Structure 1
């Protein structure tokens, strides 16, 4: 039997919807709901201006009240049990399989069994059963394999950017690099995998997800976190990551254009440094939503990211509340390509 032709669309490809999984009193946000809900509302406002928004939530009526004046016309609500809010990692991976839109349902095990994920791991299957997706969208069970969206950066043409610390974690699939490459190439239609072996953020629970460190912005451009402060604990690891990025080559043999994002100012919560990063942005139709942190560096990050996306509006969204639970804007969202959601 001939293997299917698989395309793993880039995030900058046209989209039909974005998914948010909404915080509630039974999540780790319980002590700061009043602080974090406005951040989710701001994300919802910007997404719904441009495309559909799927909101997975504990109580639909409660979320409608929290959304306030935002029009509900572009919002699809689905009520179900959830552990937390990190849609990037429990959400489906969207591919085209022989041209047919297909969602791949991988296991989310709480970033290597660090946190409970029994409800979140069922969200994709439940969403599919409630007819959120277009009738032609297929569901593929991949629950024997652990894979999180935040660990994957695709250029839509068979190239993947990822980190070895996450994908080769013993508490996920415990595979060798060669075994992992073979699996990803077969299941995501890849021909090239760019591995980053360096780079991390203090307070990160994900084992260095690539979406906190370096992002593909086009087939030829990578935006990445650069640390210029030699006294910062991240300086050495991020410098080594930069050197790795400089060695990468596009499919045509040319080096990537690298756009440096500033290292976010250190933010602490109960004396612990938490992972503020400008790399955790979300690309949507016509815009890029950039996490900001009430810092003068916010303006620098916006200016730098505009170079990577000259034809898109760069919109800053304050995410100081989000990083208190060790994630940021991209981490709480998952996009679906055009044609996946009606």
Structure 2
């Protein structure tokens, strides 16, 4: 039996959480291992910010427990000793689903480190089952390479993703677009997939949707946009805006699109940094928003304003978006929500 047959579906991220999971960085797997201490400070900032709203479980390599505890010693934070290769729990952790009786289960996707980019990944592929076992959560094994950052749902049957990621031959080369859709519908109980074209320029995840667009509510999508025709993201976002303008959701609604201006171009060692306000994270009664400072101060303020107007009942908690971005991701990439069930 699969989640769809048993009436399980993936709730939207804004639904109430029991807790948030993140993984702690592993120095040997970092792109810039000499930055381990500063990146650790960035992770601590994110974990402590989330803990202001809800419990946090941090997956930590057993040898790092004491070091991490000194950085995040807070009553709402639990350290979970599980060996792992890398730090992006959104992508290798389970995707949680809930049934009509309020019972929580977890989808265990296959994980191959974003198309085999970072070996080894064997420990990361085993993290999700260990989390589900630890918390006594029913497990559904999906025969699909999938990362949590590559999808968003609206809770009413609609999923949004990108062709650049899900149709990339480095993930599931044996599957057609239709077969991938079928798997998403089976394991997340969605009935409509909206395919954007590409993710942001320079995104080494092959275009994860959580950097470019997310649902704010059923029928309402927030999207990061670019107004500079000289920027690679201009053509990317224009095409995605066109797709959204022509799309309807699972309930037949036309989508309202809320634009957020992208931060100014930034790079490190000649590599573009994937700066995105869309990598924010919903927490209970709040939003944790990465901001970038410096040349981005104006767009930081605009992003906070747009989100404040879109979610007037949520407290916006800002964190330093530059703290971990050189490693390839930001707040949303580090997190995975465990929804409240019964």
- For the criterion TM > 0.5, the same-fold answer is yes
**1:28-107 paired onto structure 2 within 5 Å:** 28=30, 30-58=33-61, 59-67=64-72, 70-71=73-74, 73-97=75-99, 99=101, 100-107=103-110
Instruction: Give the equivalent residue in structure 2 for 1:258.
Output: 257
Q: Is the contact made by 1:7 and 1:157 (CA closer than 8 Å) also made in structure 2? A: no
Measure, in 1, the Cα distance between the counterparts of 2:50 and 2:323: 19
Instruction: Give the equivalent residue in structure 1 for 2:248.
Output: 249
Measure, in 2, the Cα distance between the counterparts of 1:61 and 1:152: 34
Measure, in 2, the Cα distance between the counterparts of 1:170 and 1:237: 20
SS in 2 for 1:217: strand
Counterpart of 2:127 (choices 108, 116, 123) is 123
Q: Does 1:165 align with 2:164?
A: yes
Q: Is the contact made by 1:53 and 1:74 (CA closer than 8 Å) also made in structure 2? A: yes
Q: Is the contact made by 1:223 and 1:308 (CA closer than 8 Å) also made in structure 2? A: no
Q: Is the contact made by 2:192 and 2:249 (CA closer than 8 Å) also made in structure 1? A: no
**1:178-189 paired onto structure 2 within 5 Å:** 178-189=178-189
Per-residue CA distance 1:180-236 (angstroms, 9 max, x = gap): 111211221111111112x33232111111101111111121110110111212111
Greater fraction helix: 2
Residue 251 (structure 1) shift:
4.0
Residue 326 (structure 1) shift:
1.6
Q: Is the contact made by 2:164 and 2:199 (CA closer than 8 Å) also made in structure 1? A: no
Measure, in 2, the Cα distance between the counterparts of 1:120 and 1:8: 22
Measure, in 1, the Cα distance between the counterparts of 2:232 and 2:146: 28
SS in 1 for 2:217: coil
- TM-score, reference length from structure 2: 0.92
Q: Is the contact made by 2:98 and 2:104 (CA closer than 8 Å) also made in structure 1? A: yes
Q: Is the contact made by 1:8 and 1:157 (CA closer than 8 Å) also made in structure 2? A: no
Q: Is the contact made by 1:92 and 1:124 (CA closer than 8 Å) also made in structure 2? A: yes
CA RMSD of aligned residues (A): 1.7
Residue 98 (structure 1) shift:
5.5
Q: Is the contact made by 1:280 and 1:290 (CA closer than 8 Å) also made in structure 2? A: yes
Measure, in 1, the Cα distance between the counterparts of 2:225 and 2:240: 9
SS in 1 for 2:127: helix
Measure, in 2, the Cα distance between the counterparts of 1:139 and 1:97: 13
Instruction: Give the equivalent residue in structure 1 for 2:192.
Output: 192
- TM-score, reference length from structure 1: 0.92
Greater CA drift, 221-230 or 200-209? 200-209
Greater CA drift, 81-90 or 174-183? 174-183
Residue 165 (structure 1) shift:
1.4
Measure, in 2, the Cα distance between the counterparts of 1:240 and 1:190: 24
Residue 97 (structure 1) shift:
4.2
Instruction: Give the equivalent residue in structure 2 for 1:336.
Output: 338
Greater CA drift, 55-64 or 24-33? 24-33
Instruction: Give the equivalent residue in structure 2 for 1:239.
Output: 238
Instruction: Give the equivalent residue in structure 1 for 2:151.
Output: 152
Structure 2, unaligned runs of 5 or more: none
Instruction: Give the equivalent residue in structure 2 for 1:18.
Output: 20
SS in 2 for 1:65: helix
**1:214-229 paired onto structure 2 within 5 Å:** 214-229=213-228
Instruction: Give the equivalent residue in structure 2 for 1:27.
Output: 29
SS in 2 for 1:126: helix
Per-residue CA distance 1:248-307 (angstroms, 9 max, x = gap): 223443322211111111111101111111111100101111111112211111111223
Measure, in 1, the Cα distance between the counterparts of 2:86 and 2:77: 20
